[in-house]
Amino acid sequence: MKAFVVDKYQKKGALRLAEMPVPEPGDNDVLVEIHAAGVNVLDSKLRDGEFKLIVPYRPPFVLGHDVAGVVVRVGSKVRKFKPGDEILARPRDGRIGTFAEFIAIDEAEMALKPKNLSMEEAASMPLVGLTAWQVLVERAGLRKGQKVFIQAGSGGVGTIAIQLAKHLGATVATTASAASMDLVESLGADIVVDYRKDDFEQVLQGYDVVVNSQDARTLEKSLRVLKPGGKLISISGPPDPGFASKQGLNVVLKLVLWFLSLGIRRRAERAGVDYSFLFMWAQGDQLSRLASLVETGIIRPVMDRTFAFEQTNEALAYVETGRAKGKVVIKVR
Length of the chain as a residue count = 333
Protein fold of 2-125+301-331: Quinone Oxidoreductase; Chain A, domain 1 (3.90.180)
Sign of CA dihedral 297, 35, 78, 248: negative
pLDDT of residue 53: 85
Q: Which pLDDT score, from 0 to 100, does residue 293 have?
A: 98
Q: What is the reported pLDDT for 56?
A: 86
Give the class (CATH, top level) of 128-277. alpha beta
What's residue 44's pLDDT? 96
Q: 0.95 exceeded by the pTM?
A: yes
Cα dihedral 9, 13, 18, 21 in deg (nearest 10): 30
Contacting residues for 307 by C-beta, under 8 A, at least 6 apart = 39, 314, 315, 318, 328, 329, 330, 331
Characterize 222-238 residue by residue with b for buried, 16 or more Cβ atoms within 10 angstroms of its Cβ, and e for exposed: bbbbbeeebbbbbbbbb
Alpha carbon distance 68, 87 (integer Å) = 6
Q: What is the pLDDT of residue 20?
A: 97
Confidence (pLDDT) at 55: 87
Instruction: For the chain, list residues with pLDDT below 50.
Output: none
Which residue blocks in 134-195 are alpha helix, DSSP H?
156-167, 181-187
Give the pLDDT confidence score for residue 54 in this predicted structure. 86
Give the span between the Cα atoms of 24 and 76, in whole angstroms: 12
Residues of the chain with CATH 3.40.50.720: 128-277
Domain span(s) for CATH 3.90.180.10 in the chain? 2-125+301-331
